[in-house]
Amino acid sequence: MGRRAKRAALASALLLLGMISGGGYFGRLADASTAQGKLTGKKQPASAKVLYADNCARCHGADGRGQTAMGRAFAAPNLADAGWWKKERPSDKRLTASIRDGRNQNRMPTFGHQLSKSEITALVRLVRTFGGK
């Protein structure tokens, strides 16, 4: 197998894994908003925890440690490690940009097209709690 074919095979395996473990990228997001819509009668922004569970946990893990198959494959940082926060000292601006635009050649994917500004802000606050802040 050539390098490109290998990468393509890896990518589809990871995608499949994501679908199995997370119930699908967009499917879950749609489910969450439908469920909320039913509760309130209109479309409401999903809570940060729901957004995280649906979009982030498959790589970063429910606890932020990144110890999922996909988190390991993409080398997701341990967001629950106080040492990571101390070393990186990421500003809100940086965290917002990372979630909105992706980071490191989209190992961390771009979410700006599917999450609103306020949803991203809520996620920045949530990931900070993983590091004890």
Residue numbers of the site for ligand HEC (CB under 6 A)? 55-56, 58-60, 70, 74-77, 88, 90, 94-95, 98-99, 103-104, 107-109, 111, 123, 127
* Nearest distance from C-beta of residue 53 to ligand HEC, angstroms: 10
Question: What are the residues whose beta carbons fall under 8 Å from the beta carbon of 63, sequence distance 6 or more?
Answer: 80, 130
* Nearest distance from C-beta of residue 110 to ligand HEC, angstroms: 10
C-beta separation of 78 from 71 below 8 A: no
* Nearest distance from C-beta of residue 111 to ligand HEC, angstroms: 5
C-beta separation of 66 from 78 below 8 A: yes
> Looking at beta carbons only, is 6 or 87 nearer to ligand HEC?
87
> Looking at beta carbons only, is 80 or 98 nearer to ligand HEC?
98
How far apart, in whole angstroms, are the C-alpha atoms of residue 2 and residue 5? 5
How far apart, in whole angstroms, are the C-alpha atoms of residue 92 and residue 114? 19
> Looking at beta carbons only, is 34 or 114 nearer to ligand HEC?
114
> Looking at beta carbons only, is 7 or 38 nearer to ligand HEC?
7
Half-sphere exposure (Cβ direction) of 52: Cα atoms closer than 13 Å:
19
